[in-house]
Amino acid sequence: MAHARARAVAWPGTSTADARQFRLDVEDVEHWEHRRRGRHARLWVVSLVVHAAARDADDAALRLTRYVRQPQHRIGDVPILRASGLPEPGAAGSPTTYPGGAVAHHDPAPYGALERAHVAAYVQALAAARLRWMSDCATAPLSRLSRLSRLSPVTEDDAPVYVRDSSLTLWRVRHRVLCLAGPGEAQARAAELAATVVDDAGVQAAEVTRLRADDGYVDVEGWRVHPALTLAPRATTALWDDYDRTESDAGQPAAVAEVLGRAAVSVWKAFTSRA
């Protein structure tokens, strides 16, 4: 940070525009360090692969993007903290589950009957996953489960079906997700992010394929570029807001269950508010 400050205020011959940018850089780094509060947290990039059975590319987009199967941070779904690819066909393995409520629908239009069936089934899958994680916890706040059932009016036809349909194939999408982790916490944080993505039966549907630290880089002039300078300010704020909720219980069953429960509520509310 001292190097950045020196460049911002004392570089001979620096143009006004460059000096302004240097000062903004210093502010971004100082904001990062203020939020750090001396904690030994690093920025990590978690690579995930998520799988789902789908009929075609349009169906896969509804099953793997938009509202369904998005990795969840402690503060919820934060698009600015991830980069996501497009669904790809031909993933290894066989299709596993597909929502019964979606079988009769074929219109891939956003917010149509098909997407509604997928979202409703996913909300139930998140609730089922939450119960599974809570089996390792001492208590279960059942009032939250009752709330979930009221939010998503799913019928028996929406239950996941174990498919043997030749029209269904396995698709995948790749995500790169940012998070902060302290010493020895990175593996747990990555596993927790993967656990927040589930299939129609509420079983984990994401796999961690790579985990690497991002400590910034050295530019062509030999200056160390702080990782805060590679992020938008609101991404920095989101990262530290998320870490503030994570540092004491990364990967703990009760914490994962809480994330899944909140996700079920927020996914359904987000979809119905726009549908």
| Per-position DSSP letters for 36-98, written without gaps between them | HTT---EEEEEEEEEEEEESSHHHHHHHHSTTSS---BTTB--GGGEEE---EE--SS---EE
In the structure, what pLDDT confidence band is assigned to residue 222 with cuts at 50, 70 and 90?
Answer: confident
The model carries a pTM of: 0.85
Q: Which of 145-159, 224-238, 251-265 has the lowest mean pLDDT?
A: 145-159
Alpha helices per DSSP H over the chain: 2-10, 16-36, 57-64, 113-134, 142-151, 186-195, 233-244, 253-274
Q: Which amino acid is located at 53 in the chain?
A: A
In the structure, what pLDDT confidence band is assigned to residue 91 with cuts at 50, 70 and 90?
Answer: low
Q: Residue 107 in contact with residue 114, Cβ under 8 Å?
A: yes
In the structure, what pLDDT confidence band is assigned to residue 14 with cuts at 50, 70 and 90?
Answer: low
Q: Residue 108 in contact with residue 59, Cβ under 8 Å?
A: yes
**Residue carrying structure tokens 């019928």:** 155
CA distance 54 to 245: 35
The backbone torsions φ and ψ at residue 165, rounded to the nearest 5 degrees and listed phi first, read -105, 125
In this structure, what token pair is assigned to residue 250?
């990364």
At 224 the pLDDT is 83
In the structure, what pLDDT confidence band is assigned to residue 246 with cuts at 50, 70 and 90?
Answer: very high
In the structure, what pLDDT confidence band is assigned to residue 71 with cuts at 50, 70 and 90?
Answer: very high
At 22 the pLDDT is 74
CA distance 264 to 125: 8
Q: Which of 28-37, 114-123, 130-139, 152-161 has the lowest mean pLDDT?
A: 152-161
Q: Which of 73-77, 116-120, 162-166, 211-215 has the lowest mean pLDDT?
A: 162-166
At 100 the pLDDT is 86
Whether 148 shows a pLDDT value over 60: the answer reads: no
| Residues facing 212 on adjacent strands | 45
At 95 the pLDDT is 67
What are the pLDDT digits (tens) for 92-147?
666 678 998 898 898 999 999 999 999 999 999 999 999 999 986 644 443 443 34
Whether 20 shows a pLDDT value over 50: the answer reads: yes
What are the pLDDT digits (tens) for 162-176?
555 677 899 999 999
The neighbour count for residue 86, using CB atoms within 10 Å, is 12
At 92 the pLDDT is 63
The mean predicted confidence, pLDDT, of the chain is 85
At 30 the pLDDT is 92
CA distance 236 to 81: 9
The backbone torsions φ and ψ at residue 98, rounded to the nearest 5 degrees and listed phi first, read -150, 135
Q: What is the mean pLDDT of residues 172-201?
A: 96
The neighbour count for residue 69, using CB atoms within 10 Å, is 24
CA distance 240 to 227: 13
Q: Residue 71 in contact with residue 177, Cβ under 8 Å?
A: yes
Whether 90 shows a pLDDT value over 80: the answer reads: no
Which of the two residues, 146 and 187, has the higher pLDDT score?
187
In this structure, what token pair is assigned to residue 232?
């938008």
**Residue carrying structure tokens 């509310």:** 269
